[in-house]
Structure 1
Amino acid sequence: MKKIGLIVPYFGEFPNYFDLFLKSCAFNPSIDWLIFTDNEVEELPSNVKIVSMTFDQLKSLISYKLNTSAALLDPYKLCDYKPAYGKIFADYLEEYDFWGHCDIDLIFGNLRQFITEEILTEYDKIFMDGHLILYRNTKKVNHSFDLIGDKDTSFRYCIQVLEVMYFDEWGINLLYEKYGLRQYNNPRYADILPQSPYFRNVLFGDDQHHKNQFFQWRNGHVYKCWEENGEIQQREYSYIHLQKRAFPTPPSSLTKEEAFVISAYGFYSSNETVEINKANYKQAFQYHVKRLKGITPIKVKRTLKGLML
């Protein structure tokens, strides 16, 4: 089995469901997580390691490894550096066949069920969205971020811009297409739409929404469940992405339970009776307000360019 190590630099307060993120990591024992952070964590699964590091120390490491003094004013700008982690964190990755990066607003299911040995053998890059991407740990692949692309899809240009350019899921994907490199994209994850008051996910392939659907983590697996013809149906995903959503702090007891429900209003025990399909209009409104405030010429240009591809 090919060894996989995931790099997670994170600075600032962890989400209040971080313990459930760790719980889902623990159910993937053949994959390692390396979290570079200035936070302290008391209890960790055996496959998760904390590397103590400040944001300034990381900036120094990046400058040294990439021979650059590029713009990096806050941790969110790290989105543009993710495809270069194979070079930046090379000293931590020697034992791995694949390295990757992921966010921590995720709850993982059974990753190996969806990222098979066959896929890992055939492709150099797995997935195309920045919340989880894997790269083959070879010199050629680890330097692919530095291939020459168009202005706004070139790594060296993107890291000189103060604004986040989303090179991790825009520029690098276009570079792989341009140079005919092997990337796999058959997304079987539940990417929850932050603009929807209901708990709906981006649809891929034959996926569909159901009026009474809800999501559940159960014994290391993530499911979307719904009732149909008097029976509970389910569709399994590799993980669920809870982007740009704030939740009430989950009960600590959930870390000990075999299953829990994830809804627009947070995390609940599977034994608890809640309105799991209730819309959260407040969250959707706050998302749209923040989105409007964040509009910039670069974002408009990139959106228009994406529509024309």
Structure 2
Amino acid sequence: MRIVFMGTPAFAVPCLDALAAAGHELLAVVAQPDRPAGRGGALRAPATKVWAEPRGVPVLQPQKVRDGRLAAELAALRPDLLAVAAYGRILGPDLLTLAPHGAINVHGSLLPRYRGAAPIQWAIAEGERETGVSIMQMDEGLDTGDVLLQRALEIRPDDTADTLAPRLAALGGAALVEALALLERDALVPVKQDASRATLARILVKDDGRIDWSAPAARIADRLRGFTPWPGAFTTLEGRMVKLLEARAEAGEPGAAPGAARRLAGRGLLVACGGGSALVVTRLQPEGKPAQDALAFLNGLRRDAFSLGT
């Protein structure tokens, strides 16, 4: 099949690997423009461009996608299909309809759950124990198109967004190739999404990482995992930020005020949370300092009890 691929970050690269291995003809890769990265602000090429250039696949990086120019350029390539994975832009009708098979998207959730920009992070943060990928026929809505194929994946108890994303990406590549094989045999059955079950996985902002100690410890631990590496989970101690890196939920102590923290002998920092629960923090990073074990942090404070979130 003649395919134009639209995708930008590392999550999209396994789809390219899978398409190439399956013998599909990649006419072009469309990615977002190079962006400044790192302390020096040097331009960094997106992961899909890094994949495509050594393989001789043309790369397009338009600043705009809804002015008709990209659609005209892609139409000249006569693709059978647009395959999309984490491109990061909303496509207009000109792109969605230019190929005979339209545009098919690889989305990192079991739609209609977690439509939007950050499905992997929010699935973990909301305490899900299973997620997956959906191969979807794209329409003009936000991840609202008919589902063509889904494959599920377990969220492990210690998964973070960083560890789950590569497994979902690999599953997405395999599912995309499976769906295209069925499409070529006219064996795909589109299934409309149940909008009443839809949830939104909105883009993350920095303040999503701020810990509300009145929440149950299990919820705080899930958000820590879901928001790793960014924005992380953070709180304050005497006006200075402390980022929590590793923690787990346990039973708490009756009557302890949320945010009250004390040394837990030989283990780390015990912080009271909502509903009588507690969070045991084993690794953290104080503002302006390197990451360290919680016990080392306590030794530096030279006291065994204090209040977080202050």
TM-score of the two chains, using structure 2 as the length reference: 0.29
Higher relative contact order (Cα pairs below 8 Å, separated by 6+ residues): 1
TM-score of the two chains, using structure 1 as the length reference: 0.29
